[in-house]
Amino acid sequence: MASGFFSILDDLAALMDDVAVASKVATRKTAGILGDDLAVNAEKATGFLASRELPVLWAITKGSFINKVIIVPIALLLNAFFPTAIIVSLVLGGLYLAYEGVEKIIEYLFHRSKAGHEVIEEHDENNSSLEKVKIKSAITTDFILSVEIVIIALGSVLDKSLSMQIIIVCIVAILATVGVYGLVALIVRMDDIGYKLIKHSSDKGIVSQLGHLMVKSLPIIIKFIGFIGTIALILVSGGIFAHNIDYLHHLFPEMPTTIKEFILGLAAGLVVVAVVSGGKKIFALLKRD
């Protein structure tokens, strides 16, 4: 009886060891996309009033968890019965990410920015609707990035049993959500932490200097994150095309991978933006007639 009990404990310990090793491998393979996920979602979670930052971030985080709950079982089922559908889903998601990235670049280069008071007034009048739109956009982008994360994690444990695949993919999905949005929360509240340090130190000493540095650095970090987030959207989309479309995978073999993926993402984004813009104009003309 006792020997049977200790045998179960040994099996459980061996299983946990396998899970730990496989989880480490899967997490390492998804590290790149997790970095892009952080940059993109940090950019998505900024631009709100200070009092609304954490509620908005919490809404996006809940949406991210729901995304994972939907994606994980579907990915496991499709991998078992219809693996081609995973590739099609990734490519469609890549087109959306490319569209978002290129649209941001076009908006920045060619569309005049509104004056500060105009933005504030518009934000005050339509605060709730604008907030909902941005949350929805963030959750949609998170869904596509989550698909990529889950697929990469699943691909790293295809040689394992089904139960092991489920455990590992779930662990990576949870770590991705908690880790990414935990860091985003720290970033968007960095100025508040800085103010508290200044107040706690009575605006004296090294602690106060650190507080002032955090407050002054936040706008620069937010702008930098916005830039990195846009580049990340294009690179992730280009990576999806390069890894899942055989012709593109073997195209320009001598070109550095990062440059190739950026060009593919940029080209796809320009095409999708042109199609969407043309579709909107045609729809507007038809509606007018």
Lowest mean pLDDT among 50-64, 96-110, 122-136, 225-239: 122-136
Helix (H/G/I), strand (E/B), else coil: 1:
coil
> For 139-151, b where at least 16 C-beta lie within 10 A, e where not — what string?
bbbbbbbbbbbbb
pLDDT tens profile 247-269: 888 888 888 988 999 999 999 99
Distance (Å, whole) CA 238 – CA 95: 9
75-84, 198-207, 218-227: the lowest-pLDDT one:
218-227
Mean pLDDT, range 15-26, rounded to an integer: 51
Q: Quick one: CA torsion of 261, 262, 268, 274, rounded to 10 degrees?
A: 180
Tell me if 135 sits within 8 A of 56, measured CB to CB.
yes
Average pLDDT on 125-130 reads 65
Does the pLDDT at position 54 exceed 60? yes
In this prediction the pTM is 0.67
Cα 138 to Cα 237: distance, rounded to the nearest angstrom:
16
Cβ–Cβ under 8 Å, residues 43 and 229: yes
pLDDT at 64 exceeding the cut of 80: yes
